[in-house]
Structure 1
Amino acid sequence: MKTILVLCTGNSARSVLAEAILNQLGAGRIIAYSAGSEPKGVPHPGALRRLAVKGIDPSAFRSKSWDEFAAPSAPAIDIAITVCGNAAGEACPLFIGAPIRGHWGLPDPADVTGSDAEIDGAFDETWRLLELRVRALLALPFDTMEPAELRAALAAIGRMEGAA
Protein backbone atom coordinates (compact mmCIF):
# COMPACT_ATOMS: atom_id res chain seq x y z
CA MET A 1 0.00 0.00 0.00
CA LYS A 2 1.44 3.37 -1.06
CA THR A 3 0.93 6.57 0.88
CA ILE A 4 0.43 9.75 -1.12
CA LEU A 5 0.58 13.30 0.19
CA VAL A 6 -1.06 15.93 -2.00
CA LEU A 7 0.34 19.40 -1.41
CA CYS A 8 -0.73 22.90 -2.25
CA THR A 9 -0.26 26.22 -0.58
CA GLY A 10 -3.64 26.65 1.15
CA ASN A 11 -4.88 23.02 1.41
CA SER A 12 -8.43 24.21 0.92
CA ALA A 13 -9.44 23.20 -2.61
CA ARG A 14 -7.38 21.17 -5.13
CA SER A 15 -5.38 19.16 -2.61
CA VAL A 16 -8.50 18.34 -0.58
CA LEU A 17 -10.33 17.15 -3.70
CA ALA A 18 -7.31 15.10 -4.82
CA GLU A 19 -7.07 13.45 -1.39
CA ALA A 20 -10.74 12.48 -1.60
CA ILE A 21 -10.49 11.11 -5.15
CA LEU A 22 -7.32 9.16 -4.42
CA ASN A 23 -8.84 7.55 -1.33
CA GLN A 24 -12.14 6.82 -3.05
CA LEU A 25 -10.76 5.33 -6.27
CA GLY A 26 -7.55 3.91 -4.84
CA ALA A 27 -9.04 2.16 -1.82
CA GLY A 28 -6.96 -0.88 -1.02
CA ARG A 29 -3.96 0.32 -3.03
CA ILE A 30 -3.23 3.74 -1.56
CA ILE A 31 -3.86 5.96 1.43
CA ALA A 32 -3.89 9.64 0.57
CA TYR A 33 -3.49 12.75 2.70
CA SER A 34 -3.36 16.43 1.87
CA ALA A 35 -1.64 19.41 3.43
CA GLY A 36 -0.49 22.92 2.69
CA SER A 37 2.55 25.08 3.29
CA GLU A 38 0.24 27.93 4.35
CA PRO A 39 -3.06 26.24 5.21
CA LYS A 40 -6.22 28.36 5.09
CA GLY A 41 -7.55 26.67 8.22
CA VAL A 42 -10.74 25.34 6.62
CA PRO A 43 -11.56 23.78 3.28
CA HIS A 44 -13.21 26.07 0.72
CA PRO A 45 -17.03 25.86 0.80
CA GLY A 46 -16.97 24.92 -2.90
CA ALA A 47 -14.73 21.93 -2.12
CA LEU A 48 -17.03 20.83 0.69
CA ARG A 49 -20.07 21.09 -1.61
CA ARG A 50 -18.27 19.05 -4.33
CA LEU A 51 -17.40 16.33 -1.80
CA ALA A 52 -21.04 16.16 -0.64
CA VAL A 53 -22.28 15.97 -4.24
CA LYS A 54 -19.92 13.03 -4.80
CA GLY A 55 -21.28 11.25 -1.72
CA ILE A 56 -18.17 11.85 0.38
CA ASP A 57 -18.60 13.07 3.96
CA PRO A 58 -17.06 16.56 3.94
CA SER A 59 -16.72 16.63 7.74
CA ALA A 60 -13.73 14.29 7.47
CA PHE A 61 -11.65 16.99 5.73
CA ARG A 62 -9.69 19.84 7.21
CA SER A 63 -7.05 22.28 6.03
CA LYS A 64 -3.77 21.33 7.69
CA SER A 65 -0.10 22.17 7.65
CA TRP A 66 2.44 19.93 6.02
CA ASP A 67 4.31 20.18 9.33
CA GLU A 68 2.03 17.37 10.55
CA PHE A 69 3.69 15.08 8.01
CA ALA A 70 7.21 16.02 9.08
CA ALA A 71 6.61 14.95 12.69
CA PRO A 72 8.21 11.72 13.96
CA SER A 73 4.76 10.15 14.46
CA ALA A 74 3.61 10.98 10.92
CA PRO A 75 3.01 8.25 8.36
CA ALA A 76 5.85 7.59 5.93
CA ILE A 77 5.07 9.23 2.59
CA ASP A 78 5.89 7.29 -0.57
CA ILE A 79 4.73 9.89 -3.11
CA ALA A 80 4.26 13.66 -2.81
CA ILE A 81 2.21 15.39 -5.51
CA THR A 82 1.88 19.16 -5.80
CA VAL A 83 -1.27 20.51 -7.45
CA CYS A 84 -0.58 24.25 -7.45
CA GLY A 85 -0.57 26.11 -10.76
CA ASN A 86 2.99 27.13 -11.62
CA ALA A 87 1.78 28.83 -14.79
CA ALA A 88 -0.37 31.10 -12.63
CA GLY A 89 2.70 32.18 -10.66
CA GLU A 90 1.82 30.19 -7.54
CA ALA A 91 4.70 29.04 -5.39
CA CYS A 92 4.47 25.27 -4.96
CA PRO A 93 5.52 23.76 -1.66
CA LEU A 94 8.35 21.25 -1.79
CA PHE A 95 7.95 18.42 0.69
CA ILE A 96 11.30 17.27 2.02
CA GLY A 97 11.82 13.55 2.45
CA ALA A 98 9.33 12.12 -0.05
CA PRO A 99 11.25 9.73 -2.25
CA ILE A 100 9.07 10.27 -5.34
CA ARG A 101 7.60 13.63 -6.34
CA GLY A 102 5.16 14.64 -9.03
CA HIS A 103 3.48 17.84 -10.12
CA TRP A 104 -0.13 17.95 -11.32
CA GLY A 105 -0.63 21.70 -11.57
CA LEU A 106 -4.19 22.92 -12.05
CA PRO A 107 -5.84 26.35 -11.86
CA ASP A 108 -7.22 27.09 -8.40
CA PRO A 109 -11.03 26.88 -8.34
CA ALA A 110 -10.93 28.89 -5.10
CA ASP A 111 -9.92 31.90 -7.21
CA VAL A 112 -13.24 31.84 -9.07
CA THR A 113 -15.73 34.48 -7.99
CA GLY A 114 -19.39 34.84 -8.81
CA SER A 115 -22.51 32.89 -7.98
CA ASP A 116 -22.45 29.56 -6.15
CA ALA A 117 -23.28 27.94 -9.50
CA GLU A 118 -20.21 29.51 -11.15
CA ILE A 119 -17.98 28.54 -8.23
CA ASP A 120 -19.42 25.02 -8.17
CA GLY A 121 -18.74 24.77 -11.92
CA ALA A 122 -15.07 25.54 -11.32
CA PHE A 123 -14.86 22.92 -8.58
CA ASP A 124 -16.64 20.39 -10.80
CA GLU A 125 -14.09 20.97 -13.57
CA THR A 126 -11.20 20.63 -11.10
CA TRP A 127 -12.71 17.37 -9.84
CA ARG A 128 -12.96 16.11 -13.43
CA LEU A 129 -9.33 16.94 -14.19
CA LEU A 130 -8.07 15.43 -10.94
CA GLU A 131 -10.12 12.29 -11.49
CA LEU A 132 -8.53 11.86 -14.93
CA ARG A 133 -5.11 12.04 -13.32
CA VAL A 134 -5.97 9.67 -10.48
CA ARG A 135 -7.41 7.12 -12.91
CA ALA A 136 -4.22 7.37 -15.00
CA LEU A 137 -2.13 6.75 -11.86
CA LEU A 138 -4.26 3.81 -10.79
CA ALA A 139 -3.89 2.24 -14.25
CA LEU A 140 -0.15 1.97 -13.58
CA PRO A 141 1.57 -0.92 -11.80
CA PHE A 142 3.07 1.69 -9.46
CA ASP A 143 3.76 -0.87 -6.73
CA THR A 144 6.38 -2.53 -8.93
CA MET A 145 7.71 0.46 -10.87
CA GLU A 146 11.25 1.71 -10.41
CA PRO A 147 11.37 5.21 -8.86
CA ALA A 148 12.60 6.85 -12.07
CA GLU A 149 9.81 5.16 -14.03
CA LEU A 150 7.19 6.33 -11.56
CA ARG A 151 8.61 9.88 -11.54
CA ALA A 152 8.36 9.98 -15.34
CA ALA A 153 4.81 8.61 -15.25
CA LEU A 154 3.77 11.18 -12.63
CA ALA A 155 5.26 13.93 -14.82
CA ALA A 156 3.35 12.67 -17.87
CA ILE A 157 0.13 12.56 -15.88
CA GLY A 158 0.80 16.12 -14.76
CA ARG A 159 0.86 17.25 -18.41
CA MET A 160 -2.64 15.92 -19.11
CA GLU A 161 -5.57 18.13 -20.15
CA GLY A 162 -6.00 21.29 -18.12
CA ALA A 163 -2.44 21.48 -16.77
CA ALA A 164 -1.48 24.86 -15.36
Structure 2
Amino acid sequence: MKPRVLFVCVENANRSQMAEAFAKLYGGDRIEAYSAGSKPSGVINPKAIRFMAELDYDLGQHRSKSLSEINGEFDAVITMGCGDNCPWIPAKRREDWQLADPKHMDDEAYRAVRDDIGRRVQALLEALI
Protein backbone atom coordinates (compact mmCIF):
# COMPACT_ATOMS: atom_id res chain seq x y z
CA MET A 1 0.00 0.00 0.00
CA LYS A 2 1.04 3.56 -0.64
CA PRO A 3 1.90 5.71 2.36
CA ARG A 4 -0.86 8.22 3.20
CA VAL A 5 0.21 11.69 4.33
CA LEU A 6 -1.96 14.53 5.63
CA PHE A 7 -0.72 18.13 5.87
CA VAL A 8 -2.72 20.35 8.23
CA CYS A 9 -2.85 24.08 8.88
CA VAL A 10 -5.61 26.43 9.99
CA GLU A 11 -6.96 27.86 6.71
CA ASN A 12 -5.74 25.21 4.24
CA ALA A 13 -4.90 28.06 1.90
CA ASN A 14 -1.09 28.30 1.90
CA ARG A 15 1.35 26.02 3.75
CA SER A 16 -0.59 22.76 3.80
CA GLN A 17 -1.67 23.23 0.18
CA MET A 18 1.93 23.73 -0.94
CA ALA A 19 3.04 20.70 1.09
CA GLU A 20 0.38 18.54 -0.57
CA ALA A 21 1.53 19.83 -3.95
CA PHE A 22 5.18 19.04 -3.22
CA ALA A 23 4.24 15.54 -2.05
CA LYS A 24 2.45 14.97 -5.34
CA LEU A 25 5.34 16.46 -7.31
CA TYR A 26 8.04 14.44 -5.56
CA GLY A 27 6.08 11.30 -4.65
CA GLY A 28 3.99 10.89 -7.78
CA ASP A 29 1.93 7.73 -7.70
CA ARG A 30 4.02 6.28 -4.85
CA ILE A 31 2.14 8.28 -2.20
CA GLU A 32 -1.33 9.52 -1.32
CA ALA A 33 -1.12 13.15 -0.20
CA TYR A 34 -3.90 15.25 1.31
CA SER A 35 -4.24 18.61 3.01
CA ALA A 36 -6.94 20.14 5.18
CA GLY A 37 -7.57 22.94 7.64
CA SER A 38 -9.05 23.24 11.10
CA LYS A 39 -10.86 26.42 9.96
CA PRO A 40 -10.59 26.36 6.16
CA SER A 41 -10.81 29.66 4.34
CA GLY A 42 -12.56 28.14 1.35
CA VAL A 43 -10.00 29.56 -1.10
CA ILE A 44 -6.39 28.98 -2.06
CA ASN A 45 -4.23 32.06 -1.60
CA PRO A 46 -3.44 33.54 -5.05
CA LYS A 47 0.21 33.88 -3.96
CA ALA A 48 0.38 30.13 -3.31
CA ILE A 49 -1.05 29.48 -6.77
CA ARG A 50 1.40 31.92 -8.38
CA PHE A 51 4.50 30.66 -6.57
CA MET A 52 3.71 26.98 -7.15
CA ALA A 53 3.13 27.81 -10.84
CA GLU A 54 6.78 28.93 -10.91
CA LEU A 55 7.56 25.25 -10.22
CA ASP A 56 5.12 24.04 -12.91
CA TYR A 57 2.44 22.94 -10.45
CA ASP A 58 -1.16 24.13 -10.89
CA LEU A 59 -2.37 24.72 -7.35
CA GLY A 60 -5.47 26.32 -8.83
CA GLN A 61 -6.87 22.81 -9.22
CA HIS A 62 -6.87 22.33 -5.43
CA ARG A 63 -9.59 23.47 -3.06
CA SER A 64 -9.50 24.47 0.60
CA LYS A 65 -10.89 21.56 2.66
CA SER A 66 -11.98 20.97 6.24
CA LEU A 67 -10.54 18.20 8.38
CA SER A 68 -14.09 16.84 8.58
CA GLU A 69 -13.82 15.96 4.87
CA ILE A 70 -10.74 13.79 5.39
CA ASN A 71 -11.14 10.13 6.32
CA GLY A 72 -9.00 7.11 6.93
CA GLU A 73 -5.72 6.34 8.62
CA PHE A 74 -2.46 8.09 7.87
CA ASP A 75 1.16 7.05 7.93
CA ALA A 76 2.13 10.66 8.67
CA VAL A 77 0.28 13.77 9.80
CA ILE A 78 2.22 17.00 9.51
CA THR A 79 0.96 20.18 11.12
CA MET A 80 2.33 23.51 9.97
CA GLY A 81 2.74 25.31 13.28
CA CYS A 82 -0.91 25.91 14.06
CA GLY A 83 -0.61 24.85 17.69
CA ASP A 84 -3.90 24.22 19.49
CA ASN A 85 -5.86 25.12 16.35
CA CYS A 86 -4.82 21.79 14.80
CA PRO A 87 -6.56 18.86 16.48
CA TRP A 88 -4.86 15.56 17.15
CA ILE A 89 -5.24 13.13 14.27
CA PRO A 90 -4.01 9.56 14.70
CA ALA A 91 -1.01 8.59 12.62
CA LYS A 92 2.06 6.36 12.76
CA ARG A 93 4.22 9.48 12.49
CA ARG A 94 3.40 13.01 13.64
CA GLU A 95 5.44 16.16 13.14
CA ASP A 96 4.83 19.86 13.70
CA TRP A 97 6.97 21.91 11.35
CA GLN A 98 6.43 25.29 13.07
CA LEU A 99 6.31 27.24 9.80
CA ALA A 100 5.34 30.90 9.76
CA ASP A 101 2.14 31.59 7.83
CA PRO A 102 3.34 33.33 4.64
CA LYS A 103 0.00 34.85 3.62
CA HIS A 104 1.06 38.44 4.39
CA MET A 105 4.74 38.06 3.50
CA ASP A 106 6.45 39.78 0.60
CA ASP A 107 7.31 37.70 -2.46
CA GLU A 108 10.87 36.85 -1.41
CA ALA A 109 9.83 35.68 2.06
CA TYR A 110 6.88 33.73 0.63
CA ARG A 111 9.20 31.90 -1.77
CA ALA A 112 11.54 31.11 1.13
CA VAL A 113 8.67 29.45 3.04
CA ARG A 114 7.64 27.60 -0.12
CA ASP A 115 11.17 26.31 -0.66
CA ASP A 116 11.50 25.28 2.99
CA ILE A 117 8.27 23.30 2.68
CA GLY A 118 9.60 21.63 -0.47
CA ARG A 119 12.80 20.52 1.29
CA ARG A 120 10.89 19.21 4.29
CA VAL A 121 8.44 17.28 2.12
CA GLN A 122 11.29 15.75 0.16
CA ALA A 123 12.96 14.56 3.38
CA LEU A 124 9.65 13.20 4.68
CA LEU A 125 9.04 11.24 1.48
CA GLU A 126 12.56 9.77 1.61
CA ALA A 127 11.70 8.41 5.04
CA LEU A 128 8.30 7.06 4.01
CA ILE A 129 8.79 5.65 0.52
TM-score normalised over the length of structure 1? 0.70
TM-aligned CA deviation for residue 37 of structure 1: 0.3
Choose the corresponding residue for 2:103, options 94, 99, 110.
Answer: 110
Q: Which runs of 4+ in 1 moved over 3 A?
A: none
1:22 match: 23
Percent of residue pairs identical:
37
Instruction: Call closer, same or farther: CA 1:94–1:37 in 2, change over 3 Å.
Output: same
Select between 9-18 and 94-103 the one with higher mean Cα deviation: 94-103
Which is richer in strand? 2
Amino acid at match of 1:124: R
Deviations 1:115-164 (A, max 9, x none): xxx2x222211111011112222332x35xxxxxxxxxxxxxxxxxxxxx
Gaps of 5+ in 2: none
Count of aligned positions: 128
Q: Does 1:124 align with 2:111?
A: yes
- Report if aligned partners of 1:84, 1:92 keep a CA contact under 8 Å in 2: no
- Report if aligned partners of 1:82, 1:92 keep a CA contact under 8 Å in 2: no
Once residues 97 and 135 of structure 1 are traced to their aligned partners in structure 2, the CA distance between those partners, rounded to angstroms, is: 22
- Report if aligned partners of 2:10, 2:82 keep a CA contact under 8 Å in 1: no
Q: Give the structure with higher Rg (CA).
A: 1
TM-aligned CA deviation for residue 6 of structure 1: 0.2
- Greater length-normalized contact order (CA 8 Å, ≥ 6 residues apart): 2
Once residues 8 and 30 of structure 2 are traced to their aligned partners in structure 1, the CA distance between those partners, rounded to angstroms, is: 20
Q: Does 1:7 align with 2:8?
A: yes
Amino acid at match of 1:82: T
Q: Secondary structure at the match of 1:27?
A: helix
Q: Secondary structure at the match of 1:54?
A: coil
1:94 match: 87
TM-aligned CA deviation for residue 65 of structure 1: 0.4
Once residues 27 and 75 of structure 1 are traced to their aligned partners in structure 2, the CA distance between those partners, rounded to angstroms, is: 20
2:120 match: 133
TM-aligned CA deviation for residue 104 of structure 1: 1.1
Aligned-residue Cα RMSD (Å) equals 1.8
Once residues 95 and 43 of structure 1 are traced to their aligned partners in structure 2, the CA distance between those partners, rounded to angstroms, is: 23
Q: Secondary structure at the match of 2:20?
A: helix
Q: Secondary structure at the match of 1:24?
A: helix
TM-score normalised over the length of structure 2? 0.88
- Report if aligned partners of 2:7, 2:36 keep a CA contact under 8 Å in 1: yes
Once residues 131 and 16 of structure 1 are traced to their aligned partners in structure 2, the CA distance between those partners, rounded to angstroms, is: 11
